[in-house]
Chains A and B, each alone.
Chain A
Amino acid sequence: MAEAKRVPLSLPLLARVEGEGALELAYAQGRIAGLRLHIFEPPRYFEKFLEGRHYSEVPDIVARICGLCPAAYQMSAVQALEGILGLAPGPWVQAMRRLFYCGEWIESHCAHLHLLAAPDFFGCANVVELAAKDAGAVRRGLKLQNLGNRILQFLGGRSIHPVGARVGGFWRAPSAAEARALLAELQGALPEAEALLDWVLAWPLPECDQAFESVALRTETGYAIEGGRIVSDRGLDIHAEAFERHFSEHQVPHSTAFHCLHEGQPYLVGPLARLNLNADRLPADIRQRLHQAGIALPSGNPFHSAAARAAEVLYALREALRLLADYAPTDTPYVEAEPRAGIGFGATEAPRGILWHRYELDERGLVRAARIVPPTAQNQARIEADLAATLAEMSDAAEAALRQRAETVIRNYDPCISCATHFLRLKVERA
C-alpha cells in the first residue's frame, strides 16, 4: 500500500446525536483503507451498580440509563425478573405496559425525526433553522413528542426516568378521568400523526441498497413491542433466553462500547428491521402509503429508517387510542412476588431496537449478576459497514461533503451512545 498522505481534517464533535464519538477514515488509492467509529464516552458500570440490589430496585435504577428510552429499560428488566419470580401479570398490566411503550416510541421517534434527522434533508444545520423553513412541521413534531411524554407521565408519574413501573405491574392505576383526558388529547393529535407520515415520506432520502440481516422481535399477533421471539430475515427464531448462544459482544480497541455480532456478522436492529420483519402486522393503509412512496419491504436502504419511525409513530398513536378506549382503573395494578433464586431474560423493542437483559437473583431476591445489551451496541458494527459502503465512492469528496454524509448516515441509526456506553470528530487520511 502506498504510504498514506495525511490530510488532517479538524471537524467538531458530531452534533445532533445522543452522545460523543469520532470517526476515523483513511483512503488509499481512492478506496477505503480504514474506518473506525470511535466511542470514547466512559463506561457507565450500570450492570455493576445493580449487583447486590434487591430486584424491586432494578426498574428505578435501569430507568436512569437513558432519558429517551427509560421505559424500555424498565420493561426489559421487569420481563426478565418476572420470569425468575414466576409472576404473570394480568391483562390490565399487559395492556398498560404496551401503552407505556407506545408513549416512549412516539416521544423518542418524534425527537429523533424533528430535532436530529430532518435538518439533514432540508439543508439546515439544526432544528432552529428548520423551524425558519417549516415552522408548522416543527410545531407538529414537538406536539407529538409532548403527547408521547404525556402517555409516559400517565403511567410513570413523570416522563423522564419514570417511577410508576415496578416488578409485577405499576404502582398505581390512573383514574378514569385521567384516562379520558389523555384519550381526548391523543384523538386530537391523530391527524397530525397522519400528516407526519406524509411529511417524512416526501423527504429526499438517498437511494441505496445494502445487504444486511434485520433482527427484531415477532409475536403471534400484532406488531411486536413489549415482547416476542427474536427473529431475523435469515432464519433466526429464538427465545430471549437463547440470545447469548447466537449473539456475542466483543470489545474493539477504538470504542468504549461493545460491538455485538450475530454469528460473527453485523446486523440491524431498530425501526427498519422491525418493519422488514413485521410489515404484515402493520395496518394495511400504512403499508399502502409506504408502498406508494416507493418503499418496497423488506428494504435494503437504511435511510428508510426515517419512514419506519414515522410509520411507527402513527401506529403507536392508534395503538394507544385502542388501549385507552375501554380503560378502567383496577384495584390490583400489580402482583406481589416472593423472592426466588434464578436466572431470567427479557427482550423488548426499545425505540432504537431490541434491548436485551439478563439477571441472576439469589434466594433473597438480590441481584447476583446483570447483563444489558442495548440496541446501539448491536447496531455499531452495522453503522461501520454502512459508512464503508456509503463513503467508498466519496474518496475525492470535499471535507464538508464527507462529514455531512458520514453524520447523516450515523444519525440515521439514532444511536444512543450514552446508552451504549456519546459523538463526531472526523479524521481523514488520503493516499
Chain B
Amino acid sequence: MSLRILCIGSPFGGDATAWAVGEQLIELGLPKTCEVRLLDRPGMRLLEAMQGAAAVLLLDASQDIAPGRLHRVESLDELQPASPRSSHGIGVAEALRLAERLGRLPARLSVYAIGAGATLPPASTLAALAAQLLEEIKKGRGQT
C-alpha cells in the first residue's frame, strides 16, 4: 500500500529535524510505494498535502520530547495547540482536527513526534531515527 510521508518543519535550527529525518529516509531507500514530502509550516495547507493519500505518516519536531527520541502519537488529543504566535493560530493539531471534522483525514494516519532541541541533532542521531522509522514502516506501524 502506498504511503505519503509528510515531514513538517522550517529551516530554523531544531525545527528542521523532521526534514532531515525525511532526507535520511530517502537515502536509506524506502519502498517504491512511499513518497516523502518536506512541508514548510503548512498550517491549513496540511489538508491539501494529505489529499488523495490513503495512508499518511506525519513527522514533526517537538521540544516536549527528549532530543533524539521518537514518539508515536496515539491520539490527536496528545497534540499541543498552536502557539498564539503561529500564523493565524493554525498548527498541526488544529489542521488535523479540522481535517477530522471535515472528514478529510486519510484512511490511515500515523503521527510521530521527534524530540528536537535548539539545533539539528548530529548526523548519527538522524540516521538512527530514520532507521527506527523505516522499521516502523516495514512493520506496517507507520500506516495505522
Contacts and interface: CB of A to CB of B under 8 A. Distances in A.
Interface of A: 12-18, 20, 67, 111, 115-116, 126-128, 131-132, 135, 138-139, 142, 145-146, 422
Interface of B: 44, 47-48, 84-85, 87-90, 94, 97-98, 101-103
A15 B89 contact: yes
Contacts of B89: 15-16, 126
A115 B90 contact: yes
A116 B87 CA distance: 11
A15 B84 contact: yes
B88 A131 contact: no
Nearest to B42: A160
A37 B47 CA distance: 34
A292 to B, nearest CB: 31
B38 to A, nearest CB: 14
Please report whether the interface of chain A is mostly helix, strand, loop or mixed according to DSSP.
helix
B21 to A, nearest CB: 23
Given A13-B84, A111-B88, A126-B89, 11 more contacts: A13-B85, A17-B88, A20-B85, A67-B87, A115-B88, A126-B94, A127-B90, A128-B94, A128-B97, A131-B102, A138-B98
A422 B90 CA distance: 15
Contacts of B101: 128, 131-132, 135, 138
Contact of B47 (A13, A16, A18, A142): A142
A47 B87 CA distance: 23
B87 A18 contact: yes
A138 B102 contact: yes
Contacts of A145: 44
B102 A135 contact: yes
A422 B85 contact: yes
A142 to B, nearest CB: 7
Contact of A139 (B87, B88, B94, B102): B102
Contacts of B103: 135
Nearest to B94: A128
A35 B88 CA distance: 24
Contacts of A142: 44, 47, 102
Nearest to A425: B84
A412 to B, nearest CB: 15
A173 B54 CA distance: 35
B55 to A, nearest CB: 22
Interface centre among B88, B90, B94, B101 (most CB of A within 10 A): B88
A127 B84 contact: no
A135 B101 CA distance: 7
Contacts of A422: 85
A144 to B, nearest CB: 13
Contacts of A126: 89, 94
5 contacts: A16-B88, A16-B89, A17-B88, A128-B97, A142-B102
A145 B47 CA distance: 12
A422 B89 CA distance: 12
A90 B103 CA distance: 46
A59 to B, nearest CB: 20
Nearest to B101: A131
Minimum-distance CB pairs A-B, first 8: A13-B84, A131-B101, A128-B97, A15-B89, A128-B98, A115-B88, A16-B89, A135-B102
